[in-house]
Amino acid sequence: EAQVTQNPRYLITVTGKKLTVTCSQNMNHEYMSWYRQDPGLGLRQIYYSMNVEVTDKGDVPEGYKVSRKEKRNFPLILESPSPNQTSLYFCASASGSSYNEQFFGPGTRLTVL
């Protein structure tokens, strides 16, 4: 089944404790992206990657890191999480074809205490 998977789905952590949220897609998509969703603010892009070893900032990159060492994986790293990073996070992917329909993972609900 074609899908985008994220792990963990739920995470409660404390300020300053480094964490990684994994994202993997099995559709051989070139493009991958991370969004966060907050009440009243909607979905905002954090980082995106056009292909392996190519990443760039979205609208709200502060406090986050990403890497794209393999085509299928695009982990989101929070080196020193803070409470304002409490949010619902989504990973998305899209092919490089002309249609570029974007597919989203199930989301990771992160709480930073």
Partner 1 sequence: KQEVTQIPAALSVPEGENLVLNCSFTDSAIYNLQWFRQDPGKGLTSLLLIQSSQREQTSGRLNASLDKSSGRSTLYIAASQPGDSATYLCAVRRSGAGSYQLTFGKGTKLSVIP
- Torsion angle of C-alpha atoms 61, 66, 70, 71, degrees rounded to 10: -20
> Which of 36, 81, 105, 110 touches partner 1 by CB under 8 A?
105
42 binds partner 1 (CB under 8 A): yes
The DSSP line for 29-55 is -SEEEEEEEETTTEEEEEEEEEETTEE
Q: How many CA within 13 A on the CB side of residue 61?
A: 11
26 binds partner 1 (CB under 8 A): no
Q: How far is the CB of 101 from partner 1 (least distance, A)?
A: 5
> Which of 15, 17, 106, 113 touches partner 1 by CB under 8 A?
106
Q: Return residues touching partner 1 (CB under 8 A).
A: 31, 33, 40-45, 48, 50, 58, 90, 92, 94, 98-107, 109
